[in-house]
Structure 1
C-alpha cells in the first residue's frame, strides 16, 4: 500500500538481494553502453519513454523522475546495504487501461511499468509486481538494485490499479485483483521481447518474485502461467482461497477487538502468534481495519455499501479507520456470489515451477498459521511438494521497517530473501537442491540487517510448520498442519 504521510500502509514490504547470483552465461552478449536503445519498442504499450542512464539503481536515480523513494517508505530496515553503479537503459510507460489512480510522471494512467536493461547482462530477467497498493518503483531498493547488480534485466508493474481506492476499479467484484495477475502476465511477455531487442536473444531464465501482494502474484503466475517462468521466490504472499482461509476470514476478529467485541485470546485462536502481541497496537492503527475494509469492498461491496462507500477516505484518519460493520463480518455466511468473486483470484497450490516461500513467524498482518503454512499444505496436497521449499524466519514480521523500532525483538527478512533468491537460481540453473523446509535461526550476533543464509536453522528444526492449530474457517474447528 502506498505510504500516507509516513504511515506504511498494507503490504508495504519487500526487500532486495545481497548474495551475488550466477555470473553471465558463457557467450552472452555484453553490448556497449545503452546499445540498441533505438530498437526498443515494448509490445502492447500505449506509451513508452526510454532513457540511457549512468546508474539504474536507487543510488543513482534518487531525486530523479526514474524512481520514487517515498513509495518505498517502510519496506526495509535502516542500514540496508544495496549495490550501485549499474549503467543501462530504463523504459517507463503504460499499457492501455481506463483507470487513472497512478499519477506517476503526471500521466494519471494505470498499468504503468518500468523495465531496466543493464549494459552487462547475465542472460536472465526478474519480474515483480508492487506490494500492497503501491506503484511500479516501490521495490527498487528491495529487488531491482540487487538483481541489476547481478546482471539481470528487471521489470515491475503497478498491477493496474493503486492506492486505497483500488477496489473501485473493474466492473464486477474481484475484477481489480484479477487485473493484477493479468498485468503481470502482460508485462512478462512484453519484457521478454524488450530483452530480445536489447541483447539480440530472449532471456535464458525468467524469475517471478514479490512480497505480500507481490508474493501472491508469484504464487498465481507459477500456478497459472508456469511456461513463462523458470521459478520464483514468494515472500509472505497473500493467500486467497475460495472457502478460506483468506484475509476476509482472518481480519474481522482484529476489527472486533478494536470495537471491544473480541479479546486477545480470540486473536490467538484465529492464528495470530502469541509472540506478536507487542506488534498488535501498531497494526491496529495502520493495517488491520484498512486492509479488511478495502478487500471486503473489493469482493463483497453489498455487505456495507456506506462503508467505505466510493472511497476509503480522503484524509489519513478516514483512510485508516475501520468500518464498525466489519467487526461482525462472517465470510462463510455471505452469499455465494462473494465466493465466486474470490474464485477469480483463488490459489490452488498447483505450482508448475520451483518456488521458495519465506514467512516470518511474527507476521501480524498475514499470520503464518493462516497463510504460508496452509499454502505449503495445499502444494503438498496437489503432489507438487518436490517443487517447493518453505522457510520460516524466526522473529520476522510483515514489514522490515519495524525492525528499527524493535531491534531486540525482530529481525529483517530481506537478507534471508536475498539468500533464498540465490538458492533458487542455483536450484534452477545448477540442479543444487535447496535445504529442506526449516525455521531459519535468528543470528546471535553480526549484522542481522544484511546477513542471513537459508541454510541457518533452529536446532532440531525439520520443517517450517507452525506449532499449535491452524484455524479451519469452513470446519469451525482447528486442523493440524501436516509435517512436511
Structure 2
C-alpha cells in the first residue's frame, strides 16, 4: 500500500561503497560497520521482531499501520543486533530518530543466523519499518538476517522542477541495490562469512522493486517473492489503470449501474467493491497525482482525464526508463490477491505474466492466487469475503526456499 503523499526527489548517487565511518553503539553493544553508511547506530536487543521492537522503540508502528489484518499473530522471540542508519543523501523528509535524513535503513542480525539474508523496500512512500510485521518477523523467525530501506523517498513534495522525469523512481532501484550490497558486506564482517543466499521480498511498490532487482542483478540475489506488486511497463501502470477508476467512481457512488460496469470493465474485480470508497479517497486519487507528477510533470489537465496515449514521446521514454521487462534472472514467486482494488490481477498480474512469457523466462516465475485477497491485509474488515494474504505470502517464501535450494 502507498501512503497518500507525494514522491520525494533525491539526487543520483554512486553505487560504489566508500569506507564507513566509525560505527556508533548503544548500551555497551559493540558497533557494527555498514560499508557506505554515513551513520550506523547499533543496538543489542532481546527481540528483533515487532513484539520486542515496539516495546523498545526500535520500530515505528505508524509505518505499518493498515498493512496487517486485525488479530494477526506474528512470530517473536528472536534476539540479536539491530543497526539503524542512513547512506549519504541530500533530501531530509524521513524524520525517524530525529535525523531529518533520507536513505535511512534498518539491519537486523539474529543471534542464531541461518546464513541467509532478506532485503525489502517499503510499499509506496512508507519508511524502512513498514514491512516489519509482514516480512521481517516472518523471516527473522526462520533465522534470516533482514535489511530494509526507505528507498530515499519518503516526503510529501512533488518532483523537483527540472529533475529528469522518473528520477525519483529510478532512485528506488539504486537504494535497494545499495542496501543489498552493503548488507551482504556487513553480514560477512559480523558473522565471518558471506550469506549463502539472498532473497528480495516486497508488497505493492516493494513488489515492483523485487521484480526490478531480479531482472537486473543476478549477482546479488538467489530469488524473490512479491505480493500484489505494482508494475510500470509501456502499456500498464497506474497512469493507465487509475484514470478510468477516477472517472467512474463518483457516478458509481451515486448509484449509477453504468459506472459500476465501467469499473468492472476497467479491471477492478467484482467483489472488491467494499474497498472502492477507501481506494478512491486514499489510494486512487493521490496515487495517480503522485505518479503523474513524477513521470509527466508538464501535464496541466485533470488527473481523471489523463490519457497516456495522447502524451508526448518524452513521457513514454520516462516510463520506459523505469519499466519492467520480464527478463528475470532468478526465481520469482508472485502472490496476488483476487480482490485487489489497486493492482487488479487482470491488469497487473496478467501483464507481468505476459512479459515473462514474451521474454522466455516462464521457468523462473510462479504465481499464487489468493481468493478474497485485497491489496493489503488491513482492508480485510471491510467485507466478510476479504481474506488475509500474509499466510499465502509466508507459504510462498517457504516454497521459494525449496525451489532455490533444489536449483543449487
TM-score, normalised via structure 1 length: 0.76
Separation in structure 1 between the aligned mates of residue 97 and residue 230 of structure 2, nearest angstrom: 29
Separation in structure 2 between the aligned mates of residue 415 and residue 167 of structure 1, nearest angstrom: 37
Residues 10 and 77 of structure 1: is their aligned pair in 2 closer, same or farther, counting only changes over 3 Å? farther
Match of 1:376 among 353, 359, 374: 353
Separation in structure 1 between the aligned mates of residue 338 and residue 381 of structure 2, nearest angstrom: 18
Who is 1:29 aligned against? none
Who is 2:385 aligned against? 409
Who is 1:397 aligned against? 374
Who is 2:65 aligned against? 73
Match of 1:56 among 38, 48, 60: 48
Pairs within 5 Å for 1:68-217: 68-165=60-157, 167-168=159-160, 171-217=163-209
Who is 1:299 aligned against? 295
Separation in structure 2 between the aligned mates of residue 65 and residue 385 of structure 1, nearest angstrom: 43
Separation in structure 1 between the aligned mates of residue 367 and residue 249 of structure 2, nearest angstrom: 32
TM-score, normalised via structure 2 length: 0.90
CA contact (8 A) 2:149 2:179 kept: yes
1:39 Cα deviation from its structure 2 partner: 6.3
CA contact (8 A) 2:199 2:223 kept: yes
State the number of aligned residues: 384
1:367 and 2:359 correspond: no
1:348 and 2:344 correspond: no
Separation in structure 1 between the aligned mates of residue 373 and residue 331 of structure 2, nearest angstrom: 23
CA contact (8 A) 1:259 1:327 kept: no
1:426 and 2:402 correspond: yes
Residues 129 and 298 of structure 1: is their aligned pair in 2 closer, same or farther, counting only changes over 3 Å? same
Would you identify which runs of 4 or more consecutive aligned residues in structure 1 move more than 3 Å? 1-4, 36-39, 163-170, 258-262
Deviations 1:78-107 (A, max 9, x none): 111111111111111101111111000011
- Does the residue aligned with 2:346 lie in a helix, a strand or coil? helix
Match of 2:283 among 283, 287, 309: 287
1:339 Cα deviation from its structure 2 partner: 1.1
Deviations 1:396-455 (A, max 9, x none): 11011111232x2111000000000000001111359xxxxxxxxxxxxxxxxxxxxxxx
Separation in structure 2 between the aligned mates of residue 337 and residue 402 of structure 1, nearest angstrom: 37
1:147 Cα deviation from its structure 2 partner: 0.8
CA contact (8 A) 1:350 1:379 kept: yes
Separation in structure 1 between the aligned mates of residue 140 and residue 274 of structure 2, nearest angstrom: 37
Separation in structure 2 between the aligned mates of residue 144 and residue 176 of structure 1, nearest angstrom: 25
CA contact (8 A) 2:38 2:86 kept: yes
Separation in structure 1 between the aligned mates of residue 162 and residue 395 of structure 2, nearest angstrom: 38
Instruction: Please list every run of 5 or more consecutive structure 1 residues that lacks an aligned counterpart in the other structure.
Output: 12-33, 305-323, 433-484
Separation in structure 2 between the aligned mates of residue 349 and residue 382 of structure 1, nearest angstrom: 6
